[in-house]
Copies of this chain bind each other. A is one copy, B any other.
Amino acid sequence: MRLHVPTPLRWSDLDAYGHVNNARMLSLLEEARIQAFWVSDDTSEHAAGASTAVLDATPGATTITLIARQEVEYLAPIPYQRQPVDIELWIGHMGGASLDVCYEVYSPAGVDPRVLYTRAVTTIVLVDAVTERPRRIGDTERAAWEPYLGDPIAFRRR
């Protein structure tokens, strides 16, 4: 199963080539990931459905999410558009203290034909904020995330 996180662009995401900048893409993925996995007081506004949002990783919380690795394939340039891009998100691997979040970034919902802009994966390590050492994925987290386990991405250019 995949989550769909509609993620709004900003005009300032464009660079001098007039397309969403390649570095800025990682901020879009970050935002989609936070919407999907972080707990929120604003449950009514939760873009991706409450079920996976079990991770309290805001500053001050007990867990820090460390980004260990990212891999991104840019398949088509992204123009500025008002409609949020449609980020599909799933888990390609769940380890003891880490998980691989996979993404496919598509044109906004309803746009025809649908365009796949970007494929990416982020390896996240859960770190205890006090000890600053990796901590195991808990049972609640594992149960919440397991329905979203899927195949890892087969990158074309690797």
Contact = CB atoms under 8 A, between A and B. Distances in A.
Given A11-B34, A15-B15, A16-B15, A72 B69 contact: yes
A19 to B, nearest CB: 8
Given A8-B8, A27-B10, A82 B35 contact: yes
Nearest to A10: B31
Contact of A12 (B18, B27, B67, B74): B27
A67 B22 contact: yes
A81 to B, nearest CB: 7
A2 interface: no
Contact of A157 (B31, B40, B69): B69
A116 interface: no
Nearest to A47: B82
Interface of A: 8, 10-12, 14-18, 21-27, 30-31, 34-35, 40-42, 45-46, 58-59, 64, 66-74, 77, 80-83, 108, 123, 155, 157-158
Given A12-B15, A45-B83, A71-B71, 6 more contacts: A10-B30, A11-B15, A12-B30, A14-B15, A16-B59, A66-B74
